[in-house]
């Protein structure tokens, strides 16, 4: 096999190129931007009909398909949750806050989900999925303080990573200030004295909603710079939600506050 990308880990791909894995992520990319797919890798020899259909679509787009072992596919992806499929793709475009603000221009309503210290790629992918499902205009995160868009995160997003506008920054605290100067109100999810009940909070049309990890939470400087702190009241016996569940509830609160 003469494949220059075979035996190369995702961390050694050319600059900005990425690996994605899983049927949902690959199917969405074929639907949304097939020109970004450079080659598909599969460990399947006798695929089921759904997988056969995916391979036929690759052939229609003249996308090379490379057969490799299950072990090698897991090594390339850094995970064994690839569902026997992965792809080497041209990297997604990442915006900074200034570029995002130029993109939205003078929109009267806009929602951004900002993720602080979400190191688990499964959680990061789940947050991408939440943001896309609730119509967020962008998802922002720090390239220095959390998971990046890894194959695991892309798979967990179920294709949302291919649809969301991605805002990748160096300093989240500075990003908060930039959003505020751009007309956004920054609302951070923090359970502490002075936080407001999210069920009764009136969100502004242009909102940046900040969520943090279950362990460390949102860093103090971002809490200090936020315009408001809100919390989700727990009515059952369990005291907390995971970050994706909490984000879902908060995004719902935003939509209901604005009458959807």
- What does the pLDDT look like over 56-88, one tens digit per residue? 889 999 999 998 898 999 998 888 888 889 999
Q: What is the per-residue pLDDT across 2-59, written as a single tens digit (0 to 9) for each? A: 454 443 433 334 346 788 888 888 888 888 889 989 999 998 765 555 567 888 889 9
Residue 4 lies inside a defined structural domain of this protein: no
Is 212 among the domain residues?
yes
d(CA 238, CA 233): 11
pLDDT at residue number 107: 96
Domain end marker among 72, 89, 106: 89
On whether residue 125 sits in a domain, the answer given is yes
CATH number for the domain harbouring residue 205 = 3.40.1280.10
The last residue of a domain, from among 89, 116, 132: 89
CA distances 84 to 51, 80, 160, 194, 244, Å, are 9, 9, 20, 49, 26
Shared domain for 116 and 194, answered yes or no, is yes
Quick one: average pLDDT of 197-221?
93
Identify the residue with better confidence: 196 or 81: 196
How many domains is the chain partitioned into structurally?
A: 2
* 125 and 54 share one domain: no
Pair (72, 126) in one structural domain: no
Q: How many CB atoms lie within 10 A of CB 199?
A: 14
pLDDT score for 210 = 98
Please tell me which residue, 45 or 115, carries the higher pLDDT value.
115
Phi and psi for 223 in degrees, rounded to 5?
A: -60, -40
Q: With pLDDT > 90 as the criterion, what percentage of the chain qualifies?
A: 56
Residue 2 lies in a domain: no
Q: State pLDDT tens for residues 159-188.
A: 888 889 999 999 999 999 999 999 999 999
> Could you give the angle at which helices 97-104 and 172-181 cross, rounded to 10 degrees?
30
- pLDDT tens-digit map of 223-249: 999 999 999 998 887 777 899 999 999
**What integer best gives the mean pLDDT of the chain?**
87
Residues 114 and 26 in one domain: no
Judge if 73 and 103 occupy the same domain. no
3-class DSSP string for the chain: CCCCCCCCCHHHCCCCCEEEECHHHHHHHHHHCHHHEEEEEECCCCCCHHHHHHHHHHHHCCCCEEECCHHHHHHHHCCCCCCCEEEEECCCCEECHHHHHHHHCCCCCEEEEEEECCCCHHHHHHHHHHHHHCCCCEEEEECCCCCCCCHHHHHHCCCHHHCCCEEEECCHHHHHHHHHHCCCEEEEECCCCCCEECCCCCCCCEEEEEEEECCCECCHHHHHHCCEEEECCCCCCCCCCCHHHHHHHHHHHHHHHCCC
Half-sphere exposure of 35 (CA within 13 A, CB side): 0
Same domain for 78 and 174?
A: no
* Whether residues 170 and 60 fall in one domain: no
Higher pLDDT, 203 or 26: 203
In a domain, 185, yes or no: yes
Residues 77 and 104 in one domain: no
pLDDT-wise least confident of 32-46, 132-146, 193-207: 32-46
Q: Domain range for residue 30?
A: 10-89
CATH number at residue 77: 3.30.1330.30
Q: Show which of 32, 61, 89 is a domain's final residue.
A: 89
Does 168 reside within a domain? Answer: yes
Q: Do 97 and 175 form a contact (C-beta atoms < 8 A)? A: yes
Please check whether residues 69 and 116 belong to one and the same domain: no
The answer to whether residues 84 and 46 touch, using CB atoms and an 8 Å cutoff, is: no
Report the largest interatomic distance among the alpha carbons of the chain, rounded to a whole angstrom. Answer: 63
36 lies in the same domain as 141:
no
Q: Is residue 229 part of a domain?
A: yes
Q: Are residues 70 and 100 in the same domain?
A: no
Q: What is the CA radius of gyration of the chain?
A: 20
Residues 152 and 253 in one domain: yes
């Amino acid at each position: 096999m003469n494949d220059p990308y075979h035996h190369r880990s995702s961390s050694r791909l050319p600059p900005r190129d990425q690996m994605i894995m899983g049927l949902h992520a690959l199917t969405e990319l074929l639907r949304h931007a097939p020109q970004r797919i450079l080659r598909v890798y599969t460990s399947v020899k006798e695929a089921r009909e759904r997988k056969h259909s995916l391979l036929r679509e690759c052939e229609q787009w003249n996308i090379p398909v490379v057969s490799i072992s299950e072990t090698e596919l897991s090594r390339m992806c850094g995970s064994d949750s690839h569902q026997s499929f992965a792809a080497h793709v041209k990297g997604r475009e990442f915006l900074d806050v200034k570029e995002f603000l130029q993109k939205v221009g003078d929109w009267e309503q806009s929602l951004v989900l900002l993720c602080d210290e979400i190191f688990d790629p499964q959680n990061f992918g789940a947050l991408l999925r939440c943001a896309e499902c609730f119509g967020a205009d962008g998802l922002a995160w720090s390239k220095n303080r959390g998971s990046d868009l890894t194959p695991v995160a892309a798979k967990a997003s179920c294709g949302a990573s291919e649809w969301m506008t991605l805002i990748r920054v160096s300093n989240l605290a500075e990003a908060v200030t930039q959003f505020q100067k751009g007309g956004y109100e920054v609302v951070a999810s923090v359970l502490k004295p002075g936080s407001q009940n999210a069920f009764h909070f009136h969100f502004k049309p242009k909102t940046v909603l900040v969520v943090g990890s279950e362990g460390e939470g949102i860093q103090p400087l971002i809490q200090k710079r936020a315009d408001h702190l809100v919390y989700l009241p727990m009515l059952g016996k369990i005291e907390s939600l995971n970050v994706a569940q909490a984000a879902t509830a908060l995004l719902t609160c935003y939509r209901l506050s604005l009458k959807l």
